[in-house]
Copies of this chain bind each other. A is one copy, B any other.
Amino acid sequence: MNKYVFMFGEIEGSKALLGGKGFGLSEMTKLGIPVPPGFTITTEACNQFFKEGKEFLNKLYPEVDEKLKELEEKTGKNFGDEKNPLLVSVRSGAAISMPGMMDTVLNLGLNDSTVKGLAEKTNNERFAYDSYRRFVQMFGNVVLGIEHAKFENIIDEIKEKKGVKQDVELDTEDLKELVKRFKELVKNEKNIDFPNEPKEQLRLAIEAVFNSWNNDRAITYRKINKIPDDIGTAVNVQSMVFGNMGFDSGTGVAFTRNPSTGEKKVYGEYLLNAQGEDVVAGIRTPKEINQLKDDIPEAYNKLMEVCKKLELHFKDMQDIEFTIEHKKLFLLQTRTAKRTAQAAVKVAVDMVKEGLIDKETAIMRIKPEYIERLLHKRIDPNAKLEVIAKGLPASPGAATGKVVFDAEKAEELANKGEKVILVRRETSPEDIQGMAAAQGVLTARGGMTSHAAVVARGMGKCCVAGCEDIKVNEDENYFEVKGKRIEEGEIISLNGNTGEVILGEVPLLEPEMGGDFSTILQWADEIRKLGVRTNADTPHDAETARKFGAEGIGLCRTEHMFFKEERIPIMQKMILAKTKEERQKYLDQLMPMQKEDFKGLFKAMNGLPVIIRLLDPPLHEFLPKREELMVEIAVMKAKGEDEEKIKEKEKVLKRVEELYEFNPMLGHRGCRLGITFPEITEMQTKAIIEAACEVKKEGVKVMPEIMVPLVGNINELKDQKAVIIKTAEETLKEKNEKIEYKVGTMIEIPRAALTADELAEEADFFSFGTNDLTQTTLGYSRDDAGKFIKVYLEKGILKEDPFKTIDQNGVGKLVEMATRLGKQKNPQLEVGVCGEQGGEPKSVEFFHKAGLDYVSCSPYRVPVARLAAAQATIREKQNK
């Protein structure tokens, strides 16, 4: 027969068998750390209980009784002994800490006779009866299931009768009265006498812990956090110690290092002559841990010794609870300590230096989001916030500033030194300068990969997008949120990590990127197999990314270059051109401008590859908006304005109409532009190759890679490759230079993935555009899907936003298929990803497993990707 109950330290247990709390107590016992004796009923017992039902308890209880006897022997106290009663705490403890389950019953074993023993031992009758009434209340509530409020009502009645306000004003007699009244309540509610027999109390408590595993809150929590239902909870039964036995006793909590900064110094607080509850109640102010050195030096020294021992054993920072009973230190709990991002990095690096852990362990301890958090401003975690709305956490960081509703105003105020938050229904390329000037960006529409989100991430600027709660009135300069109206100039704050919109100013903490930060990333670089490049459209972005460790540019979106103020009129003329000749004329004007951009990028990436994507978006994105023109013309007509002017506008509208598309995302864009207007591809190729030649002369090592967007058919790639090679060779000849360049394709259309073997015969490289691939594979428009994705996440139809984390089952299948087909056909093929998912840790792990060569992401996510890539490598090794 299996054994289900073990004394602390009796066996080599595990968290899975003993639960987290039981494991900690058991380990400490084995280490010789003073722990009040007790035993653990294993998680297997819990599972067996649910398999066999109540019958199982008949097998379990004899074993419990046996261990109880052992416990009585160890403590020299006896259950139900009037003089020297054994009192115990009963606590649940699953392998994974889980709210919703039954928490704690303290002082179990008290009854009308043992309470006297407690009074005598503590020399404090009031305390004994207070403990007793608390035990009855706690037991009645958590074990017997009587509403908490019903007990509180009785307390209120008695306080009223006595005319006092605080519980502490009640005297011993009042507490005795309470015990009596509580027991009557139990009788009335459950039609049973309150169990006086300690063993019966214990059995009921054990059963209650088991049952709490399957209460609604616990089930929901497990569902949300993907915790299996069949791991069960353990039950810990531990003898009580008392920290309120005078001023040589006390209770406290401590961290083995500073959980905020990571400093190697025990950090914590305690109260003398107190029990754990008193610390929580907050009536007395606890003392800092170093004062304990003066108060009870024996206990302090022991505590320091214990902390050291625990770290040596667990190889990580611990979070402990302790009680001192007559100068003797007892540990009641130890667990891995929660910590800030900064502390996580410092502790990990320090512990490697101390020889406690190796580099891989250090890396696995850093959550990728920590890295992101350290790169940006944060809201002071102690600040009180008035959250008025919640959108998507589109770009991390935090910002505070005056609300403005247009980009120009944002620039104007920023130039005057004001901090502003740009609020828009959605952003468009025209808003880029305004976004750059603002502290943060808030939009009412658009998802994680909307224009606002992508651009803000690129800029490293905080952004909350798709905040559907707010209704923006851009004409009258206000926004409404749940009936509240926020006018231009009012101050709001944004939390880009959570998506929260906060009313008023909040205190911000500056980014912290110390030496430990770069140490961790260096270690990550040593381990990871996946390359990390960056998405960058400007030399400035490229430089930033290189500082963050980017190993090249995975995506330069050339269209962003056309949106610059002085270029857009030429671009518009190019688009409106009626003949190829006219179009060529404006392209010739754009060429030198593009060339300068490319030169900047090549210089910033000296010696590293630079992938430049040919023009991708539909041309009408560069023209005035159709509906705005329609309105303008109608109004001009209604007002009887000058016919000539109207005709001029109508001409523009006509061309805009011609270019108008119902679903521009699936329209005339990507390589479809280059195929219908080869002169655009020619101009861009010429600009790239000329730029390469010119910087090469300056001693820069250039590695240009030209990427064709939106390919779905091998013939598209063949067509564009022919144009590129012809132009490139002509240009090289003209410049009398030799430069190696690659020609490759985006894989961002399902058909490209399905025919990747064909494409691999022509392509030097593949780059997955996971935004577009997600849009088409799932049929979700990234700009419109916000509405239903929100509902889908709430209903559990989706587990994750597929634009944030790659959809492994769908899009992922295509990525794996294309990588496999491509590399089989062309072993030289370089395969990467340049969607924003390239910087998202779960996705990075997937891309590692799928066999990609590199990921590319916005500059501020490069460090995250470096860490995530290393973690993926380590995890794979561990799972082998």
Contacts and interface: CB of A to CB of B under 8 A. Distances in A.
Nearest to A783: B662
Interface in A764-807: 772, 775-781, 783-785, 787-788, 791-792, 795-798, 807
A624 interface: no
Interface string A832-846: 000000000000000
A810 B755 contact: yes
B807 A675 contact: no
Contact of A666 (B748, B755, B784, B792): B784
A749 interface: yes
A667 B670 CA distance: 21
A675 B630 contact: no
A772 B662 CA distance: 14
B772 A749 contact: no
A545 to B, nearest CB: 29
A780 B671 CA distance: 12
A302 B156 CA distance: 125
B663 A810 contact: no
Interface string A794-838: 011110000000010111011000000000000000000000000
A780 B712 CA distance: 10
Contacts of A785: 666-668
Given A639-B638, A788-B675, A662 B797 contact: no
Contact of A663 (B639, B663, B749, B751): B663
B751 A779 contact: yes
Interface stretch (A139-147, A394-402, A713-721, A868-876): A713-721
Nearest to A670: B779
Interface residues of A, number: 58
Nearest to A640: B638
B630 A778 contact: no
A813 B663 contact: no
A34 B867 CA distance: 89
Identical copies of this chain, number: 2
Nearest to A629: B627
A788 B710 CA distance: 13
A661 interface: yes
A345 to B, nearest CB: 38
B809 A667 contact: no
A810 B754 contact: yes
Contacts of A637: 635
Contacts of A627: 626-627, 630-631
A811 B713 CA distance: 12
A753 to B, nearest CB: 9
A72 B815 CA distance: 72
Which has the most chain B C-beta neighbours within 10 Å: A755, A772, A784, A791?
A784
A676 interface: yes
A750 interface: yes
Contact of A710 (B631, B672, B713, B779): B779
A359 B631 CA distance: 65
Contacts of A778: 712, 749-751
Given A712-B778, A750-B750, 8 more contacts: A627-B630, A662-B783, A666-B776, A676-B787, A676-B791, A712-B779, A713-B797, A755-B810
Interface of A: 626-627, 630-631, 634-635, 637-639, 661-668, 670, 672, 675-676, 710, 712-713, 715-716, 719, 748-751, 754-755, 772, 775-781, 783-785, 787-788, 791-792, 795-798, 807, 809-811, 813-814
- Shortest 4 CB-CB contacts between residues of A and residues of B: A666-B781, A751-B810, A663-B781, A667-B784
23 contacts: A627-B631, A630-B631, A634-B635, A635-B638, A638-B639, A661-B781, A662-B781, A663-B665, A664-B781, A664-B784, A665-B781, A666-B780, A666-B784, A668-B785, A712-B778, A712-B810, A713-B798, A715-B795, A751-B778, A751-B779, A754-B810, A754-B813, A772-B779
